[in-house]
Structures are given as C-alpha cells and as structure tokens.
C-alpha cells in the first residue's frame, strides 16, 4: 500500500490559465543532436515573450546539468530523463505557462508517455527534421566526431537509434528552411491549434500581427 496520497487543489487549471490571459500548452521539440531544436525553440520563446505570453524553455543540455545529472545514456536513463522533463513541463502547464521543451527524446514510446502525461489537448509534438549527415556537418561541439571515434557511447544516430515521429503535430524541414522562418511557422500554428480553443480562452494571437 502506498504512503502517498494525491492532495486535491482548490484552484483549477482553468483558473490559473485565466489570469495569464492565454491557454497553456507544451511545445515538445524533438530531433537529432544538431538539428536546430534549441535554436528554433529559443526563437519561439522570444516571439511568445514579445507578445506578452508567459513561457518557460526547458533545454535538454540544461536539464542534464541539473535535474538529470545523475542519469547516463542507457535506454532506461533516457526514458527517465524524458519522464522527468514531462513531469516538470506538466506542472508548469498546470501553472498556466506555455512550456517549450527541446530534447532529443529519441524513442516514440517516451514521447507518447509525455503526451499522455501532459494531455492530448495540451501537447504539441514538433519534429525538427534534418538528415543525419547535415546534423553532423552542423555539429559545432564535435559530438558526432567523438561518437564515431568511440569516445562517446550510445550516441543518438550513431550507436543508439532515433525513432522519428510518425504523426508529429508539426514537422519542420530544418534541412532547407532557416531557423527564423521555422520559428515563425510554430508561432503561426499557435493561432489555430486546438490547445488554445479547448482551454476556453480563445486563440493565441500571432506575435507578429
């Protein structure tokens, strides 16, 4: 028998969202290392902030340096890393924020777990799609080079798989379109996405309108 019990909170999600003036959601960026996830996510964060939206960006590298610094890169540790990120994102969305995550999150099952945890109407999976050879060419940290030399084990795309989304809510072609234009595409989607309307708060205006 568990010694932990869920405490019923007086304020609802909708009540917390109402004082923010916009609907909460989780924008879940996924893609290979070097695909441009963090760059695009940061631009989206800036755009939403300029429009007066309340946001928070969770970046995979920063998460690994803090909350998940005890984890390695085994399949089990990767899954736990995503679980922690999803739990934090869910709490922040409950507080009324638009949460932006930029994590490789290589396994479909983990991303589906995150979607279930956050909720179908609040979760937007964004696939930053780029061929691995281009991601490797853009790698300023030299991680792919080190992985190919055997210095980094279980590196996604080299000796650990990346399972691309089959039905992402939004696919960004990072091979042919620049980061700024892709960020604008994400911001435009928020105008019409079901998340805003389902929260009963109306659609989120385009920051550039």
Confirm whether 102 is domain-assigned. yes
Q: How confident is the model at residue 118 (pLDDT cuts 50, 70, 90)?
A: very high
Q: What is the pTM of this model?
A: 0.85
Q: What CATH number did the domain enclosing 129 receive?
A: 3.40.50.300
User: Does residue 43 belong to any structural domain of this protein?
Assistant: yes
From CA 40, how far away is CA 23, in angstroms rounded? 21
- Residue 71: what pLDDT? 81
In a domain, 83, yes or no: yes
14 in a domain, yes or no?
Answer: no
- Residue labelled with tokens 């991601």: 135
> Which candidate in 17, 35, 68, 105 is catalytic?
105
Percent of the chain with pLDDT over 70: 86
Query: What does the pLDDT average to over 125-140?
Result: 94
- Specify if 10 maps to a domain: no
Residue 107 domain-assigned? yes
Cα separation of 136 and 105, whole Å? 18
- pLDDT band (50, 70, 90) for residue 69: confident
- What is the overall mean pLDDT for the chain? 85
Active site residue 105: yes
d(CA 124, CA 27): 5
Domain presence at residue 19: no
Domains contained in the chain, number: 1
Domain that holds residue 140: 24-192
Residue 113, helix vs strand vs coil: helix
Read off the pLDDT of residues 29-63 as tens digits, 9 standing for 90 and up: 999 999 999 999 999 999 999 888 999 999 877 77
In the predicted structure, residue 203 carries a pLDDT above the cut 70: no
Q: Could you tell me which of 24, 26, 43, 64 has the C-alpha nearest to residue 174? A: 43
């Amino acid at each position: 028998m568990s010694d932990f019990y869920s405490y019923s909170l007086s304020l609802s999600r909708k009540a917390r969202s109402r004082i923010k003036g916009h609907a909460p959601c989780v924008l879940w960026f996924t893609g290979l290392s070097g695909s441009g996830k963090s760059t695009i996510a940061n631009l989206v964060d800036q755009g939403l902030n300029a429009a007066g939206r309340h946001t928070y960006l969770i970046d995979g590298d920063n998460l690994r340096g803090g909350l998940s610094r005890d984890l390695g890169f085994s399949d089990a540790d990767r899954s736990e890393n995503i679980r922690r990120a999803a739990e934090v994102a869910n709490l922040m969305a409950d507080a009324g924020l638009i949460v932006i995550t930029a994590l490789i999150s290589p396994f479909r099952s983990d991303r589906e777990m995150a979607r279930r945890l956050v909720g179908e109407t609040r979760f937007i999976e964004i696939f930053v799609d780029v061929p691995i050879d281009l991601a490797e060419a853009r790698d300023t940290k030299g991680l792919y080079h080190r992985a190919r030399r055997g210095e980094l084990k279980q590196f996604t795309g080299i000796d650990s798989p990346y399972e691309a989304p089959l039905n992402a809510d939004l696919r960004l072609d990072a091979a042919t379109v620049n980061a700024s234009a892709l960020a604008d595409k994400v911001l435009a989607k928020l105008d019409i996405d079901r998340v805003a309307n389902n929260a009963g708060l109306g659609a989120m205006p385009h920051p550039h309108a």
